[in-house]
Amino acid sequence: MNEKELPESLRGDNISEETKSLVSSLSCNKDFLGKIYNYQGCWYYPNTLQGVLNFQKGFKPQETDIIIASFPKSGNTWLKALTIALFVRLNNTSSSSDALHPLQSDNPHGLAPFLETILYLNSSTPDVTKFQSPRLFSTHMPLHTLQEPFKDSSTCKIVYVYRNVKDVGVGYFGPIWEHVLSYWRGSLEDPKHVLFMRYEEMKSESAAQVKRLAEFLGCPFTEEEEDQGCVDKILELCSLRNLSGLEINKTGKAHNNMHYSVFFRKGEVGDFKNHLTPEMENKIDMIVEEKYKGSG
């Protein structure tokens, strides 16, 4: 695959002279798609790095903003869908309940776009006027990189989803230790603005975790909603089975021509056992223990 066939965010044909100068000073490595560069402790393809820099330069946060964060292949799509559904329910009335739900007409990534690979990929001043409060965005940046534009303003709500590294590894992405720890520490230091969620708990305690998410976002379920089964309805709407079966997610494409269907894998806990040998598992467990030692 040549560079022009790659999604725009994975290429290196859209960086400024200033970024080229920066890139020349950064640690460089190569993966199966091309060169990647280490910026503030995270690895990026050149165009994505440009998007990160554009974001840091131009993003104007609002107090009501919500940012869904994760390492790739960690449950970002599901968490986005749940967050969208939580807020859509607040606007539902008896007269509009039959209207098409946003998740039925657009993919979660279309409704909550990535900051560095979509919104700010080509400009530090994209048009964000179409986003109504609360604005919902997403990112794969570590917390310290994400918070760069927040220095002179109140912090918005940030929700991070962590997944067992062995299941994340099935998605062919590299080490995630500092990425995870940045949000873990952030959640301990500022629990009102940073929520740390575990994918495995979202699967095993779905109702409790969705209620926890709603509470954090300031839109808790009422007793009446719980009695009416609202929590279960949201979980069903946002289930992998339902989302992957929607026409928009079977045939639709993102603006970068990537098929929405690629965002829906098995979503199973422990699927790594179908891909890793016991020896590989043990080695990863030892690395995890070493990297997270002392973090709590």
Q: Domain of 166: which CATH number?
A: 3.40.50.300
Angle at 231 between CA 228 and CA 237, to 5 degrees: 110
Give the pLDDT confidence score for residue 172 in this predicted structure. Answer: 47
Residue 201 has pLDDT above 70, yes or no: yes
Q: Residue 286, class by beta-carbon neighbours within 10 Å (0-12 exposed, 13-18 middle, 19+ buried)?
A: exposed
For residue 293, tell me if it sits in a domain. Answer: no
Q: Has residue 223 been placed in a domain? A: yes
Catalytic residue among 140, 193, 259, 275: 140
Residue 185 lies in a domain: yes
> Minimum mean pLDDT among 6-20, 58-72, 158-172, 222-236: which range?
158-172
Rounded to two decimals, what is the model's pTM?
0.84
**Which pLDDT band, with edges at 50, 70 and 90, does 145 fall under?**
very high
Could you tell me if residue 14 is inside a domain? no
Q: For residue 275, indicate whether it is catalytic.
A: no
Share above pLDDT 90 across residues of the chain, in percent, rounded to a whole number = 55
Domain around 224: 59-269
Residue 276: inside a domain: no
Per-residue confidence at 95, pLDDT binned at 50, 70, 90? very low
Do 234 and 210 contact (CB within 8 A), yes or no?
yes
The per-residue pLDDT for range 151-183, each reduced to its tens digit, is 876 679 999 999 887 777 644 465 688 899 999
Overall average pLDDT of the 75-83 stretch: 93
Whether residue 72 is predicted with pLDDT greater than 80 in this model: the reply is yes
Q: Which residues contact 226 (CB under 8 A, 6 or more apart)?
A: none
* Cis ω for the linkage preceding 149 (within 30 of 0): no
**Assign residue 172 a region: left if phi > 0, alpha if psi is -120 to 50, beta otherwise?**
left
pLDDT number for residue 91: 80
Among the residue ranges 2-11, 50-59, 192-201, the one predicted with the least confidence is 2-11
Domain assignment present for residue 207? The answer is yes
Looking at residue 171, what is its pLDDT? 44
pLDDT in tens, 21-68: 999 999 999 887 788 999 998 899 999 999 999 999 999 999 999 999
**Which of the two residues, 140 and 247, has the higher pLDDT score?**
140
Q: How many domains does the chain have?
A: 1
pLDDT reported for residue 32: 79
Residue 153 domain flag: yes
Band of pLDDT at residue 104, cut at 50, 70 and 90: confident
Does residue 6 lie within any of the structural domains?
no
Which pLDDT score is estimated for 62?
92
* Cα–Cα nearest to 178, from 30, 70, 42: 42
Q: Quick check: 196 and 162 in contact, CB under 8 A?
A: yes
Q: Which of 114, 176, 124 is nearest to 149 (CA)?
A: 124
Pairwise CA distance, residues 148 & 26, whole Å: 19
